[in-house]
Amino acid sequence: MRTLYLDNAATSWPKPGEVPRAVARAMIRGGGNPGRSGHAKSIEAGRQVLHTRELLAELFNVKDPSRIVFTKNATEALNVVLVGLLREGGRVVTTSMEHNSVARPLRALSPAGVTVEVVPAGADGRVDPRAVDRAIGSDTRLVAVTHGSNVTGAVNDIASIGTICRERGVRLLVDAAQTAGCIPIDLDRIPVDYMAFSGHKGLLGPQGTGGLFIRDERDLPPLLRGGTGSLSDREEQPEFLPDRFESGTLNVPGIVGLGEGVRFLLKRGVEAVMEHDRRLREILWQSVTADPRIRVVGDGPEAPEGARSTGVMSVVIQGVSPSTAGEALERRFGILTRIGLHCAPSAHRTMGTFPDGTVRLSWGVFTSEREIARAGRALLSIAAGG
């Protein structure tokens, strides 16, 4: 039985072949610590890191690649903004679909005087931008919104939310962990102030990579301070980008691999990836909704006009707990999924699936229509008690 990996929302697999090859090359033929020395190996490592930064800038349409800083994952990037901007308290508007990577830092900041206004998502898992507008008050310091839900795949309208935030003079932080590489993001057009992204999901890079786009670095201190290879004669942290936010040696092999993932996406086109993900969603949705015992959480192909989704679908099977279903999918059908609450308890509360959670299936660029149809048949078989 061939294993079918449907947990791409946790981390994408497989990666384009050039990604692991580039990682190995960076370690075997490369070497050198970028920015730390003037010798050939250090300079070459620096060039490789810059190359990935430039590819990301191209993908997100960012004119100055220095505005993209590397972190170890999207969580760290989100923490840079949340902890940095809200260290002295303030009011934050966020949504009920957030992952714990936003919810937990906000909760931990409450002794510092941070108050949180949660905008509930609708039955389709999306947040109405007008509700965000209504929640913004004169003392709101930040709006933090997930671009795509890791539970339902529903994509929020960050262009409208960004426009509202710009008009109201409030900064916007977008969590693009689930959408970078899956949904086109044009940062030259969309007024987002900060965008956190994961490198190992839709961007197809190795784990341990991620980053943060920063439109304006003023008032934003770094989370970590330390060696940057620059201004070495001073004990103060450099103020300029990207060094302010990149203390300590970077994950060069990971970043080089990430560059190859992004290059693959630039060649294929993110629009094409989105269309592929949409087509697979339609096949799976049509397959499983034939059985009324299977409930698709969030929307299917009949999504509201213009609404988008990623390659993520959560289902609940009547009379079968998610853990039982997940185990059956793996043991009887060789299908790897993720069951439970997906680190997003509030999103499950919103969708009415707390505390049991769901079975989440998440596909990727290398998943075929035949494979997604196989997953649909497996769910139908489990629902039928077979």
CB of 44 to other proteins, least distance (A): 10
Which pair of structure tokens corresponds to residue 6? 């449907």
- Provide, rounded to whole angstroms, the least separation between the CB of residue 77 and other proteins: 18
Of 50 and 296, nearer to other proteins (C-beta) is: 50
Tell me if residue 26 falls in helix, strand or coil: helix
- Min dist. Cβ of residue 368 to other proteins (A): 39
Shortest separation between residue 262's beta carbon and other proteins, angstroms: 17
Which residues contribute to the site for other proteins (CB under 8 A)?
Answer: 34-39, 42-43, 46-47, 49-50, 53-54, 63-66, 228-233, 238, 240, 242-243
Contact present, 271 and 184 (Cβ < 8 Å): yes
Question: Nearest CA to 113 among 143, 92, 138?
Answer: 92
For other proteins, the closer of residues 25 and 51 by Cβ is 51
CB of 254 to other proteins, least distance (A): 17
Nearer to other proteins, 34 or 206 (CB): 34
- Please, which residue, 69 or 172, has the CB nearer to other proteins? 69
If the CB atoms of residues 211 and 364 are measured against other proteins, the closer one turns out to be: 211
Taking the least distance from each CB to other proteins, the nearer of 68 and 204 is: 68
Amino acid at 44: E
User: Shortest approach of other proteins to residue 36 CB, angstroms?
Assistant: 6
Which helix H or strand E contains 295, and what residues bound it?
Answer: strand 294-297
CB of 363 to other proteins, least distance (A): 36
Long-range Cβ contact pairs of 12-18 (< 8 A, separation 24 or more): 12/200, 12/201, 12/202, 12/204, 12/364, 12/365, 13/364, 14/366, 15/204, 15/205, 15/206, 15/257, 15/261, 16/204, 16/260, 16/261, 16/264, 18/260, 18/263, 18/264
Length of the chain: 386
> How far lies 114's CA from each of 49, 117, 320, 379, in Å?
36, 10, 40, 43
- In terms of phi and psi (left: phi > 0; alpha: psi -120 to 50; beta: otherwise), the region of 89 is left
Q: Closest CB to other proteins among 45 and 145?
A: 45
